[in-house]
Amino acid sequence: MLVVVCPGQGAQSPGMLAPWLELPSVAEAVGRASQATGLDLVAHGTTSDADTIRDTAVAQPLLVASALATLRAVLELDVSAPLGAAVADRVDVTAGHSVGELAAAAVAGVLTDDEALRLVAVRGAAMARAAAVTPTGMSAVLGGDPDEVLAALARHALVPANVNGGGQVVAAGTLDALAALAAEPPARARVVPLQVAGAFHTEHMAPAVDELRAAAAEVTPGEPGVTLLSNADGAAVASGAQALARVVAQVANPVRWDLCCATLLELGVTGLLEVAPGGVLTGLARRTLPGVETVAVKTPADLDAARDLVRRHASSAVPTSASSQEQSS
């Protein structure tokens, strides 16, 4: 059983799309994504610096576009093929971390690529505006006793915005509170500031929820063609409407990636594919999903390993097509 996971904000890095754009299918997909979002994602994925792509309004569309384009490359799909229908016999489960949940909704067929991209453009811009109201941020708390970590966050008026499992909780709140936590970390824990521009998944993002909800009201979601897990509680969504409502609410509510991982174990997932920019969720999976084989897609050099994982763990084999020659062309 195969799960495709889509990374969240903070996974981006300068130049991450440069090798991918040598593949004609990816270049076409990113070009279409630029039109859908109104952003030059080719430039942001190749020449923009770290500060530029740290901007929430840029980072989020860049991540969703990268996830969808690189999954199409793995599965050798034409850019015009509806993604949800094309993956239904190749992917069993999908989930996305934070903004990655919009990409996962497209993988499941709840949204089209263009709908996911238009919504993420609204989401990113709205969250950037909300973040500008008060200086806020997020820090990963690595290690420590879970109860002691949560107590320390409460003491500093911080929110456990991401509970990721594997001994990782992400604290969110004001910069002053995060600095105080770093100065007095929980026992046996490290506090690492994250490259994000605000306290996501907290009450600070409430204004962004209203903007995203208005945009989502213009979308008629499809029904999930594969099992789609929700960040809210790790459960599979019951309908496309529920999935979209949860994606909207998630902006100001915690991400429970630990519960998503628990559900993957319950479902009996055997293989995990993390689309580009892969690495973060695969690292968590190695600590939280024992026995599950993982592949992180970072560059086109990872395509062969990704396709092999799909062949061995998904519902059916991926057919070979001429597009597979792109990697060496």
Q: CB under 8 Å to 214, separation ≥6 — which residues?
A: none
Return the amino acid letter for 49: D
φ/ψ of residue 219, rounded to 5: -105, 135
Q: Return the half-sphere exposure (C-beta side, CA atoms, 13 A cut-off) of residue 44.
A: 26
Which among 54, 57, 64 has a CA at the least distance from the CA of 13? Answer: 54
User: What SS3 state is found at 295?
Assistant: strand
Please confirm, yes or no, whether 139 is among the known catalytic residues. no
Measure the CA–CA gap between 35 and 28, rounded to whole angstroms. 11
CB atoms within 10 A of CB 218: 9
Q: Residue 183 has which token pair?
A: 């100065």
Catalytic one among 44, 201, 204, 313?
201
Please confirm, yes or no, whether 204 is among the known catalytic residues. no
Catalytic one among 34, 48, 66, 98?
98
Measure the CA–CA gap between 205 and 106, rounded to whole angstroms. 23
Q: Which residues are catalytic?
A: 98, 201
